[in-house]
Amino acid sequence: MAQIDARLREDVHQLGDLLGNTIRIQCGAAFVDKIERIRQGAKASRRGSDGGADPLSETLDHLDEDELLPVARAFNQFLNLANIAEQYHRVRRRGPGEPEPFESRVLAELLQRLLADGHAGEALARQLGRLDIELVLTAHPTEVARRTLIQKYDAIAAQLAARDHSDLSEAERERAKDNLQRLIAEAWHTEEIRRSRPSPVEEAKWGFAVIEHSLWQAVPNFLRQADRALHAATGLRLPLESAPIRFASWMGGDRDGNPNVTAAVTREVLLLARWMAADLYLRDVEQLAASLSMQEASAELRAQVGDSAEPYRSLLKQLRERLRATRSWAQESLQDEPTAAPAVLQDNRELLEPLMLCYRSLHACGMGVIADGPLLDCLRRAVTFGLFLVRLDVRQDASRHAAALNEITDYLGLGRYAEWDEEVRQQFLLGELANRRPLLPMHFRPSAETAEVLATCREVAAAPAASLGSYVISMAGAPSDVLAVQLLLKEAGLQRPMRVVPLFETLADLDQAGPVIDRLLGLKGYRARLQGPQEVMIGYSDSAKDAGTTAAAWAQYRAQEALVQVCAAHQVELLLFHGRGGTVGRGGGPAHAAILSQPPGSVAGRFRTTEQGEMIRFKFGLPDIAEQNLNLYLAAVLEATLQPPPTPEPAWRELMDRLAADGLGAYRGVVREHPQFVEYFRQATPEQELGRLPLGSRPAKRREGGVESLRAIPWIFAWTQTRLMLPAWLGWEYALANALQRGEGELLGQMRERWPFFRTRIDMLEMVLAKADATIAQLYDERLVAAELRPLGEHLRDLLSQAVSAVLGLTGQSRLLAHSPETLEFISVRNTYLDPLHLLQAELLARSRQRENQADSPLEQALLVSVAGIAAGLRNTG
Question: In the prediction, which pLDDT does 179 show?
Answer: 93
Domain 263-388 has CATH 3.10.350.10: no
What number of other Cβ atoms are within 10 A of residue 349's Cβ?
11
Q: Indicate if the pLDDT at residue 326 is higher than 70.
A: yes
Question: In the prediction, which pLDDT does 1 show?
Answer: 39
Q: Indicate if the pLDDT at residue 852 is higher than 60.
A: yes
What mean pLDDT comes out for the span 351-364? 98
Alpha-carbon distance 874 to 764, whole Å?
14
Least confident range from 488-502, 556-570, 828-842: namely 828-842
Question: In the prediction, which pLDDT does 140 show?
Answer: 58
Q: Please, are residues 715 and 727 in contact by the beta-carbon 8 Å criterion?
A: yes
List Cβ neighbours of 168 (8 Å cut-off, separation of 6 or more). 176
C-alpha distance from residue 187 to each of 12, 155, 262, 696, 842 (Å): 16, 10, 34, 22, 26
Give the model's confidence band at 145: pLDDT under 50 very low, under 70 low, under 90 confident, else very high: low
Burial class (CB in 10 A: 0-12, 13-18, 19+), 94: exposed
Strands 534-539 and 132-138: unpaired
**Is residue 49 helix, strand or coil?**
coil
Q: What angle do CA 725, 80, 719 make, to 5 degrees?
A: 15
Cα dihedral value 689, 860, 697, 830, nearest 10: -80
In sequence order, what DSSP letters do the residues of 371-416 get, joined into one string?
IIIIIHHHHHHHHHHGGGSSEEEEEEEHHHHHHHHHHHHHHTTS--
Alpha-carbon distance 30 to 456, whole Å?
58
Give the model's confidence band at 44: pLDDT under 50 very low, under 70 low, under 90 confident, else very high: confident
Cα dihedral value 258, 260, 266, 267, nearest 10: 160
4: region left, alpha or beta (phi > 0 left; psi from -120 to 50 alpha): beta
pLDDT tens digits, one per residue of 466-513 = 999 999 999 999 999 999 999 999 999 999 999 999 999 999 999 999
Give the model's confidence band at 148: pLDDT under 50 very low, under 70 low, under 90 confident, else very high: confident
Question: In the prediction, which pLDDT does 142 show?
Answer: 46
Least confident range from 21-30, 600-609, 783-792, 856-865: namely 856-865
Q: At what angle do helices 216-234 and 102-116 cross, to 10 degrees?
A: 30
As a whole-number percent, the residues of the chain with pLDDT over 90 amount to 68
Which helix (H) or strand (E) covers residue 137, if one does? Answer: strand 132-138
Question: In the prediction, which pLDDT does 55 show?
Answer: 62
**Is residue 647 helix, strand or coil?**
coil
Strands 391-397 and 534-539: unpaired
Distance between the two ends of the chain, CA-based, in angstroms?
29
pLDDT tens digits, one per residue of 436-461 = 999 998 889 999 999 999 999 999 99
Q: Please, are residues 274 and 345 in contact by the beta-carbon 8 Å criterion?
A: no
Alpha-carbon distance 713 to 693, whole Å?
14
Alpha-carbon distance 248 to 577, whole Å?
12
Give the active site residues. Answer: 140, 545
Alpha-carbon distance 567 to 606, whole Å?
14
Percent of residues in the chain assigned helix, strand, coil, to nearest 5 = 65, 5, 25
Alpha-carbon distance 282 to 351, whole Å?
11
Question: In the prediction, which pLDDT does 871 show?
Answer: 85
Q: Indicate if the pLDDT at residue 587 is higher than 80.
A: no
Alpha-carbon distance 564 to 557, whole Å?
11
What number of other Cβ atoms are within 10 A of residue 478's Cβ?
21
Alpha-carbon distance 679 to 668, whole Å?
16
Burial class (CB in 10 A: 0-12, 13-18, 19+), 95: exposed
Beta partners for 246? 134
The structural domains of the chain, with segments of one domain joined by +, span 6-119+144-213, 263-388, 396-573, 650-874
Most confident of the following: 57-61, 192-196, 844-848: 844-848
Q: Indicate if the pLDDT at residue 52 is higher than 70.
A: no
Nearest to 733 by CA among 823, 809, 793, 656: 809
Question: In the prediction, which pLDDT does 51 show?
Answer: 52
Question: In the prediction, which pLDDT does 585 show?
Answer: 39
C-alpha distance from residue 251 to each of 263, 451, 461, 581, 696 (Å): 13, 21, 19, 15, 11
DSSP structural state of residue 3:
P
Nearest to 226 by CA among 110, 74, 71, 354: 110
Give the model's confidence band at 128: pLDDT under 50 very low, under 70 low, under 90 confident, else very high: very high
What mean pLDDT comes out for the span 42-67? 70
What number of other Cβ atoms are within 10 A of residue 240's Cβ?
17
Give the chain's length.
878
Give the model's confidence band at 387: pLDDT under 50 very low, under 70 low, under 90 confident, else very high: very high
- Which residue type occupies 548? G
Least confident range from 76-90, 237-251, 592-606: namely 76-90
Question: In the prediction, which pLDDT does 706 show?
Answer: 57
Nearest to 548 by CA among 586, 596, 494, 597: 586
Strand boundaries in 746-789, DSSP class E:
none
pLDDT tens digits, one per residue of 155-207 = 898 888 888 777 788 898 899 899 999 999 999 998 877 777 788 998 899 89
Q: Indicate if the pLDDT at residue 699 is higher than 70.
A: no
Nearest to 648 by CA among 722, 783, 753: 753
Alpha-carbon distance 213 to 671, whole Å?
43
Q: Please, are residues 352 and 378 in contact by the beta-carbon 8 Å criterion?
A: no
Question: In the prediction, which pLDDT does 878 show?
Answer: 39
Give the model's confidence band at 876: pLDDT under 50 very low, under 70 low, under 90 confident, else very high: low
Q: Which residue has better confidence, 363 or 166?
A: 363
Give the model's confidence band at 805: pLDDT under 50 very low, under 70 low, under 90 confident, else very high: very high
Q: Which residue has better confidence, 75 or 48?
A: 75
Alpha-carbon distance 374 to 382, whole Å?
12
Burial class (CB in 10 A: 0-12, 13-18, 19+), 760: buried
Q: Indicate if the pLDDT at residue 649 is higher than 70.
A: yes
Q: Indicate if the pLDDT at residue 50 is higher than 80.
A: no
In the predicted model, what is the mean pLDDT of the chain?
A: 90
DSSP structural state of residue 472:
E
Question: In the prediction, which pLDDT does 91 show?
Answer: 78
- Which residue type occupies 145? A
List Cβ neighbours of 637 (8 Å cut-off, separation of 6 or more). 131, 133, 244, 595, 603, 605, 607
Give the model's confidence band at 2: pLDDT under 50 very low, under 70 low, under 90 confident, else very high: very low
What mean pLDDT comes out for the span 38-59? 69
Q: Please, are residues 348 and 387 in contact by the beta-carbon 8 Å criterion?
A: yes
Which helix (H) or strand (E) covers residue 587, if one does? Answer: none
What mean pLDDT comes out for the span 689-702? 62
In sequence order, what DSSP letters do the residues of 231-273 get, joined into one string?
HHHHS----TT--SEEEEE-TTTB-TT-TT--HHHHHHHHHHH
Strands 534-539 and 499-504: parallel
Q: What angle do CA 722, 725, 730 make, to 5 degrees?
A: 135
Q: How many helices (H) and strands (E) does the chain have?
A: 39, 8
Q: Please, are residues 752 and 810 in contact by the beta-carbon 8 Å criterion?
A: yes
C-alpha distance from residue 284 to each of 217, 295, 323 (Å): 11, 20, 11
Which helix (H) or strand (E) covers residue 540, if one does? Answer: none
Alpha-carbon distance 231 to 563, whole Å?
36
Strand boundaries in 625-671, DSSP class E:
none
Question: In the prediction, which pLDDT does 588 show?
Answer: 39
pLDDT tens digits, one per residue of 515-548 = 999 999 999 889 988 988 999 999 887 788 889 9
Phi, psi of 240 (to 5 degrees): -60, -35
Q: Indicate if the pLDDT at residue 463 is higher than 50.
A: yes
Q: Please, are residues 733 and 724 in contact by the beta-carbon 8 Å criterion?
A: no
Which helix (H) or strand (E) covers residue 132, if one does? Answer: strand 132-138
Give the model's confidence band at 642: pLDDT under 50 very low, under 70 low, under 90 confident, else very high: very high
Question: In the prediction, which pLDDT does 87 show?
Answer: 82
What mean pLDDT comes out for the span 392-415? 97
- Which residue type occupies 119? H
As a whole-number percent, the residues of the chain with pLDDT over 70 amount to 93
Q: Indicate if the pLDDT at residue 335 is higher than 50.
A: yes
Nearest to 251 by CA among 208, 280, 193, 215: 208
Question: In the prediction, which pLDDT does 198 show?
Answer: 81
Alpha carbon 616 to chain centroid, angstroms: 5
Q: Which residue has better confidence, 863 or 146?
A: 863
Q: Indicate if the pLDDT at residue 56 is higher than 90.
A: no
Least confident range from 10-24, 387-401, 638-652, 747-761: namely 10-24
What mean pLDDT comes out for the span 596-624? 89
Strand boundaries in 497-605, DSSP class E:
499-504, 534-539, 574-579
C-alpha distance from residue 575 to each of 27, 245, 534, 538 (Å): 56, 15, 6, 11
Question: In the prediction, which pLDDT does 146 show?
Answer: 67
